[in-house]
Structures are given as structure tokens and as C-alpha cells.
Amino acid sequence: MTALLEVLGLRYQPGGHRILDVPAFAVAEGEVLAIIGPNGAGKSSLMQAVGLLQPAEFGEYRWEGRSVKLPAESLALRRQMAMVMQDSLLLSETVYHNVALGLSLRGIAGAGLKTQVLDMLDRLGIAHLARRPARRLSGGEAQRVSLARALVLKPRLLFLDEPFAALDVLARSQMLRDLRGLLTADRITALFVTHDFSEIPVVADRVAVMFGGEIRQVGTPFAVFNRPADPAVRELVQVAHDLVRTLQPESANR
């Protein structure tokens, strides 16, 4: 697979404090790359840096193999991406207006806008909420709206920063399945930050493990969880192995 995004020599150190130091990082077209690691590892910062939302230093920033000039091309590139965060961060408007926001920012209006918004609301099963003020939504509904707001843009690259962390386990499971279906149907490339390892097999094609602002290992979920590259990664993935062992029949644990 060819790389949609490739960055070399990424550094982010506001006030001299090192947050990110990533010599090379790439995301292949169409893949979902999960990013895991402890709190403060730099997962969200990595997304914000490659999403051109923070003023990080890049040795080189390549998009579809072409070297991009920053910050000159920053806005044009940002408009090929979208992000869903843990907080739904909806504006104090109706659901319809929230979902239409990104398209409006791109100058899309009229019937074209309406069709795209209503179609996306329908695909996410929230068409009945279109006229409801965003502040009157439940947590699960708000996060569906947030997802619809990002997906309606048909982004080439979607950033998902613990989008379902605040949802209960049933809502999260449903959202994950819906998300995977939409990503596959629209062939959207995604970076997915999560602390919940059970989400990885549902959505991720590959996993990147971060510690202290560095990427320590990138590979398939099977490779990362079964062949950790260093002791820190081993300690992190051990949590998943412990969980699996706990769920085995008691006779198997003896």
C-alpha cells in the first residue's frame, strides 16, 4: 500500500519541553492505525501535530508522496482531514447546523449541503435529531453527531482521539461497529487513539505504541501483542494478556 501521509523528523517541543520526537511516521492509504500508550505518551500530540493543528517542526511532510510546503498549504491540507475528540465539542446550534459546519466552512451551501448532511445523519441513525439543539443530546447521541460532522466531509484522513471513551460499554460497542462499517464503505484512512485494547481488533489494521513522545513499535495487532519490541511495550500489552487469561475457564489458568 502507498503512504497517504508520511512525516520525517517530527519534533514538537513547546518551551523547550520535549513532547514529540518521531524520526519517521507513515499512514498507508485506507488503513486504520491505532495508537496506544500510557497517559502523556504523546498520542494526542502526535495527531494534532500531523493534523497541522499544532506548530510542530517537520523535517519533511509528504502527502500522497508529494512534499508539502508548510504553512502555505496548511489550510488546504487540513480540509482533507477531520477529527473526532473525546469531548463532542458541538456548537450551541441544532444538530443539523453542527453536521453542516465543516461543509459550510468549505463554501458548500444550498441543496448540495442539505442532501449530504441529511444522508450522513441517516447513515448514523440520527436523522430524527436533526432539529434538536445540540446541548439537549445524551452523551452517545452527541458523539454520533460529532462523528457525522467529521464523516460528512469525506475526509481522506480521519483522526479519532478516544472518541468513545466516555460512552458505556454497549453504546461503545455499537459505535465501534458502525464506525468500522463507515470507514470501510467510504475507504477512509484513520488514526485512532485508544486506551481500550478491546477496540483494537474491531477497528485497527495496525498498531503504533508510544512512550515519552517516541513511537516504540508499529505493526499488526498480532505482532505488537505477541512480539513486543521492548520491555516497556511488553509491560503495556501484558494488560491485554492478563485480561484474556482472566476470561479463560478456571481450569485453563491452573
Burial class for 107, CB neighbours closer than 10 Å (0-12, 13-18, 19+): exposed
Q: Among residue numbers 131 through 160, which ones bind another protein (CB under 8 A)?
A: 133, 149-150, 153, 159
Between the CA of residue 221 and those of 5, 184, 217, what are the distances in Å?
20, 18, 11
Q: Single out the residue of 75, 170, 185, 252 in contact with another protein (rule: CB under 8 A).
A: 75
Q: Single out the residue of 45, 48, 143, 217 in contact with another protein (rule: CB under 8 A).
A: 48
Q: Are 225 and 36 in contact (CB under 8 A)?
A: no
From CA 168, how far away is CA 164, in angstroms rounded?
8
Q: Single out the residue of 16, 39, 72, 92 in contact with another protein (rule: CB under 8 A).
A: 92
Q: Single out the residue of 85, 142, 175, 236 in contact with another protein (rule: CB under 8 A).
A: 85
Q: Which residue, 24 or 109, is less far from another protein as judged by CB?
A: 109
Nearest approach, Cβ of residue 27 and another protein (Å)? 16
* 227 forms part of the interface with another protein (CB under 8 A): no
Q: Considering CB under 8 A, how many residues would be counted as binding another protein?
A: 25
Within 10 Å of residue 144's Cβ, how many Cβ atoms? 25
DSSP 146-172: HHHHHHTT--SEEEEESTTTTS-HHHH
CA–CA–CA angle 241, 172, 129 (5° rounding):
170
What angle do the packed helices 169-186 and 139-151 form, to 10 degrees?
A: 10
Q: Which residue, 51 or 221, is less far from another protein as judged by CB?
A: 51
The 186-205 contact track toward another protein, x by CB under 8 A, reads: --------------------
Within 10 Å of residue 16's Cβ, how many Cβ atoms? 5
* 228 forms part of the interface with another protein (CB under 8 A): no
Q: Are 82 and 155 in contact (CB under 8 A)?
A: yes
* 94 forms part of the interface with another protein (CB under 8 A): yes
Nearest approach, Cβ of residue 57 and another protein (Å)? 18
Q: Single out the residue of 1, 24, 89, 109 in contact with another protein (rule: CB under 8 A).
A: 89
Binding site residues, another protein, CB under 8 A: 48, 51, 53, 75, 78-79, 81-83, 85, 87, 89, 91-94, 101-102, 105-106, 133, 149-150, 153, 159
